[in-house]
Structure 1
Amino acid sequence: MTVLVRSRRVVTPEGVRPLGVDVVEGRIAGLVPYDAGGGLDLGDVALLPGLVDTHVHVNEPGRTHWEGFATATRAAAAGGVTAVVDMPLNSLPPTTTVPNLEIKKKAARGQIAVDVGFWGGAIPGNLGDLRPLWDAGVFGVKCFLSPSGVDEFPALDGDGLTLALRELARFDGLLIAHAEDPWTLTEPTGPSYAEFLGSRTPDAEVRAIETVIAVARETGARAHIVHVSAGDAIPVLRAARSQGVRITAETCPHYLTLSAEEVTGTAFKCCPPIREAANRDALWAGLADGTLMGVVSDHSPCPADMKSPDDFAMAWGGISSLQLGLPVIWTEASARGHSLEDVVRWMARGPADFAGLSYKGRIEVGADADLVAFDPDAAFVVEAGDLAHKNPVTAYQGRALRGVVRQTWLRGAAPGHGRFLTRGAR
């Protein structure tokens, strides 16, 4: 199959250029002059590489009424995301052993509209499962340093973290960590957002990140901090990286665009929490200088009744945003003077490179022809009921956004026939 897609605004690693993208058998075979004509002409609608989201909670099997592979991957495609990596929780069973990984793959098979890879899990008692999971192709293993919210995925204590990183260092595996210090966290003293926010301070995040950095430095292992919310963590991460510690980190759309001052209900609850507006500038600075490798969703959905209206202490913590990340980030990034090239670096190439998917997240010869027609000047208002997510719950309800995904291609074709992604293999 041969496809040609042309745009005056093709975002490539060399910049935004008028080009035609020639697709043969699902890969980019060539970049040709825009004026050569032929094919599908997008005009001034931008052509981006498909986004790569390495932080998605699909929840199937076991909690498929929260989200499932069919709905999650349709939402991804609608939002310009052509590859996702699924978290090891909150499915039942969690992805903490190779047999459990196979159960998850069986549940996903035949349902995925985009490409899907998997993280494994590191929990107390499964140290011997980390190498088999790695050999089975997971992209790394995730741990929590504080309670995860589900009993079947307990946190690692300090000794457990050290043992896990020592084991991973033996084969250059990767640990990704939810970093909040359990000894600094407190119980909310009431149901309000202010009380919830006060129970999960920036200090809790910074102290946990410092712990991961210290053990990564000692063991030489690779570690990654998920969903950084605290601006105070950026100089800590920056310093560690400058000293040669093998530490990377990410942030999420909600931390870059929402603020504690505008929280109106429990749809905004997540852990770590959305912080005050003044906190965001440091996160944007961390993106701009590469301290943060990129922006991923941490799509963590649940049924509406689990959001416990007006009680932040009891509501499930998670933001549903898989379909909305691109326009959410573009709206804020463009207002701050950033370009489409920046957004592609943060949401496509950065996460792809982090996961070792060198053939994803870029428009260049030889890469998968995962493409997105994105109209950066169009606008819309978010209506939760219009999203492909299984449950119509979103913190962005009623929000006016810039940028509309007009069409998504997976390997040059309409999404619908996703493949499993395996670390180290194409």
Structure 2
Amino acid sequence: MGYDLIIRNGTIVFRENVKKADIAIKNGKIVAIAECLIGTADQIIDATGQYVMPGMIDAHVHICEPGRTEWEGFESGSKALAAGGTTSYIDMPLNALPATTTKEALELKIAAAKGKNYIDYALYGGLVPGNLQNLQELSDAGVVAYKCFMATCGSDLPGDFKNIDDYTLYEGMKRLAELEHVLAIHAENAEITDRLALEMIKQGKTSASDYVASRPIFTEVDAVKRALLLGKETGCKLHFVHISSADAVGEIITARNQGQDVTLESCPHYFTITARQFQAIGPLAKCSPPLRSKVEQDKLWEAFKQAKIDMLTSDHSPCPPEMKFSATNNMFEVWGGISGCQNNVDLMFDEAVQKRNVPVTQFVRMIATNPAERFNLRAKGEIAIYKDADIILVDPNQSYVVKTENYYYRHKHSPYTNRTINCRVTKTFVRGHLVHDVDEGIVGKPIGQLILSQKSSNYIVPS
């Protein structure tokens, strides 16, 4: 039988086990898996010594097009994601202008994205004050989930994203429960963190450590607990983004064990950069919630190893370099977001699987299977017959140093620059098409397709 592609001799990571086998791909789908696959193919790749894994599904990416394309556009962002081993991503409703909180804004984003993505993509809708009446139309138009901020966000610019008030959060959860959609939540107590920041600034305390102190762990835990209470009251499915503390993880797991439909994610920077290192790196490592102490990071790693964290995401939140600069070294003035999606998979494979003996099957569930299931990306997320051939090869024996000149970001800065990573994503395939090779770079033209929610009136059942 003739196939489009056969990947031979790789160590395949399935949902529950690992074994050496060959994979055959035809028309973008995985059509055969066998230890000694018989057949011919247009292309055969030898993956000896490498892991063959489902590509990462990054459920937390900020592409800033349209409106702020100078921060990061679909083309540059999807190239970076592909180079890092991501084969699908879900774009947040901010930081584009206008934010994706209405059908009209969603249509602008869909039009802006067309023909520019190297990997497949889906879109969030936003829940903000004043758009309760827009939630149904966003669902009908194809968003796969919704996002809200309990922390202060946005600007005075027309159409920018705004943080939620308690009434809108409650009423929005009621409506999303009816729509059977997931609400992703940035959980920090805005009133306390904002006031703490103002007090710090008044006292002239504007260093990295002062910024961290203005957003203590209890403000994350408080917001998580309040959101869980409203979720329990309304029956809304919840997903907590970029959780930074083991205490918050504990609250979420307790609620899940009591029957709530809730998941959580965390990000590589919370596991690989401490608050002390933030002081040395400077503005490039500023994010919210902030980076934590080594003691707290170790607690978060324990939660990771115990499989209490459902998925890894990048929270790729880029900006121009001038937004990461303060003439007075005032950390409260600089943009809070990390560019990091190009090193998601290999960085965390090195840290989790190779250094801390996390089972590679657990790692794959965190980067691919769990996000696919949570956000109903049914053709994605695992190496299995008739799934999309979204596949990456990872060489566990190839070390490299992260260099600025290798970034695909529109603005080539990241807190991981000059870091040594002791494994490497060598090839990224999207539906069987090679889109990135470690030696060749980006391959071919953008082939990424928009993934619509199965609740959308425009949804077509995948072939």
Report TM bin, short chain.
over 0.9
Which of these residues, 5, 16, 23, is aligned with residue 21 of structure 1?
Answer: 23
- The amino acid of 1:8's aligned partner reads G
Which of these residues, 72, 80, 99, is aligned with residue 75 of structure 1?
Answer: 80
2:452 is aligned to 422
| 1:319 and 2:343 are equivalent in the alignment | no
> TM-score under structure 1 normalisation?
0.97
- The amino acid of 1:311's aligned partner reads N
1:236 is aligned to 251
Task: Name the SS of the counterpart of 1:54 in structure 2.
Answer: strand
CA contact (8 A) 1:87 1:118 kept: yes
Which of these residues, 146, 156, 163, is aligned with residue 171 of structure 2?
Answer: 163
CA contact (8 A) 1:380 1:404 kept: yes
2:14 is aligned to 12
Q: Distance in 1 between matches of 2:338 and 2:267?
A: 10
Gap regions ≥5 residues in structure 1: none
Cα 1:179/1:203, change in 2 over 3 Å: same
Per-residue deviation, residues 155-182 of structure 1 (Å, max 9, x unmatched): 1111111011011112212211111011
- The amino acid of 2:137's aligned partner reads P
2:417 is aligned to 397
Per-residue deviation, residues 364-417 of structure 1 (Å, max 9, x unmatched): 101000111111121111112311111111011111112111111111112330
Kindly tell me the number of residue pairs found equivalent between the two proteins.
426
CA RMSD of the aligned region, Å? 1.5
CA contact (8 A) 1:287 1:346 kept: no
| 1:328 and 2:347 are equivalent in the alignment | yes
- The amino acid of 1:226's aligned partner reads V
Which of these residues, 303, 306, 311, is aligned with residue 286 of structure 1?
Answer: 303
Q: Distance in 2 between matches of 1:391 and 1:162?
A: 38
Which of these residues, 167, 170, 174, is aligned with residue 182 of structure 2?
Answer: 174
- Shift of residue 8, structure 1, vs aligned partner: 3.4
Identity of aligned pairs, percent?
35
Q: Distance in 2 between matches of 1:196 and 1:229?
A: 15
CA contact (8 A) 1:52 1:81 kept: yes
> TM-score under structure 2 normalisation?
0.89
Cα 1:169/1:35, change in 2 over 3 Å: closer
| 1:245 and 2:260 are equivalent in the alignment | yes
1:195 is aligned to 210
Q: Distance in 1 between matches of 2:271 and 2:379?
A: 27
- The amino acid of 1:257's aligned partner reads T
Cα 1:247/1:35, change in 2 over 3 Å: closer
Pick which of 56-65 and 327-336 moved more: 327-336
- Shift of residue 36, structure 1, vs aligned partner: 5.4
- The amino acid of 2:61's aligned partner reads V
Gap regions ≥5 residues in structure 2: 436-445
Task: Name the SS of the counterpart of 1:323 in structure 2.
Answer: helix
The within-5 A match list for 1:240-389 is 240-263=255-278, 264=280, 265-309=282-326, 310-333=329-352, 334-389=354-409
2:191 is aligned to 183
- Shift of residue 37, structure 1, vs aligned partner: 8.4
Q: Distance in 1 between matches of 2:51 and 2:59?
A: 23
CA contact (8 A) 2:117 2:449 kept: yes
- The amino acid of 1:303's aligned partner reads P
CA contact (8 A) 1:266 1:311 kept: no
CA contact (8 A) 1:58 1:67 kept: yes
CA contact (8 A) 2:402 2:417 kept: yes
1:128 is aligned to 133
1:408 is aligned to 428
CA contact (8 A) 1:54 1:351 kept: yes
Q: Distance in 2 between matches of 1:355 and 1:135?
A: 16
Q: Distance in 2 between matches of 1:169 and 1:43?
A: 47
Task: Name the SS of the counterpart of 1:234 in structure 2.
Answer: helix
CA contact (8 A) 2:154 2:163 kept: no
